Structure 1
């Protein structure tokens, strides 16, 4: 049995507002991610916010990923956000996104399509070093990452900020 079949992180599912930290998030950082595209497939952008347990933005990412379909841009966005979490050796991270399929794939309740194996293989390898929970949020509760992703479509490269970008 491969690592992807054995992977079973903590499961979670709720609807929350981006940036609002509640009792269930105490002790957790929160990563919100979203992707944007012009056409399907079409030019795409990614956006992500990492907040501390007080709800303060400690990292924001925005940038393009090229031409992709709707599902691929959401997978790439989650991958990029979790890559930053792994790079900075953060622990206890609540990951929220508005793509229910991607959340199911991340939490291990459904197997991702084979074309995304390379992304999930990396995510599952990184996840051995820190704790994550995954939550689905409605699009209306994910406005800031959505706005960043929309801006990312027209950027030349990925940019990281230590607060919300201007």
Structure 2
């Protein structure tokens, strides 16, 4: 019976009852449709920067942290961060990661920012496509206020595999007691000059 349940999960058109010989004949003709999706990080357009952020929660709720990476249109690293956030939920970690990263974008005077995250909830709330859950309403309000300061800002969803660097940095935050921020000062000064 366990074998049948496994087969039925992969090939839903197999129905019970079947004897073993009928099942074997049917399996010989089964074709498993595989869908392959190319996953890659795409550079932002010229004069734009892309901020990838991610939040991490060890439990939900539990210890939370944030990670993110900011890159220019050449794909060059401008800034990355890993920040412990205390206690909260995974959704709170996602929003706090975006807030932290966008705060740095504002401080560095970037006007055209693409915020790319692997949280569909965050994207839907940011774009007002979904009612904001009460548990993150104050953080989303701060995020929307902050984003109104950017002349051009986009918030898009990406698959977790394309957000690997931010994901890794968010998980690293659980080993820290204070924020870790890395600036690529050479690229920051060159990029800032080109974006003015």
TM-score (norm 1): 0.80
Residue of structure 2 equivalent to 1:80: 100
Aligned with 1:153: secondary structure? helix
Residue of structure 2 equivalent to 1:150: 171
Residue of structure 2 equivalent to 1:62: 82
Work out which structure has the larger RCO, using CA pairs closer than 8 Å and 6 or more positions apart in sequence: 1
Residue of structure 2 equivalent to 1:12: none
1:160 to 178, 181, 187: 181
- Which sections of structure 2, spanning at least 5 residues, go unmatched? 1-37, 185-196
**1:46, distance to aligned residue in structure 2 (A):** 0.8
Identify, as 1 or 2, the structure richer in helix: 2
CA-to-partner distance for each residue in 1:55-110, whole Å, 9 max, x for gaps?
11101010110121211111111111112122222111111000000011112222
**1:16, distance to aligned residue in structure 2 (A):** 6.1
Aligned with 1:110: secondary structure? coil
| 2:62–2:89 Cα contact (<8 Å) kept | yes
Residue of structure 1 equivalent to 2:43: 21
Residue of structure 2 equivalent to 1:132: 153
| 1:47–1:152 Cα contact (<8 Å) kept | yes
2:61 to 38, 41, 50: 41
Aligned pairs for 1:105-120 within 5 A: 105-120=125-140
- Which sections of structure 1, spanning at least 5 residues, go unmatched? 1-14
Aligned with 1:129: secondary structure? coil
2-structure distance, mates of 1:150, 1:108? 28
| 1:107–1:133 Cα contact (<8 Å) kept | no
Higher Cα Rg: structure 1 or 2? 2
TM-score (norm 2): 0.69
| 2:116–2:155 Cα contact (<8 Å) kept | yes
The verdict on how the C-alpha distance between 1:160 and 1:125 changes in structure 2, with shifts beyond 3 A counting, is same
| 1:45–1:154 Cα contact (<8 Å) kept | no
Residue of structure 1 equivalent to 2:52: 32
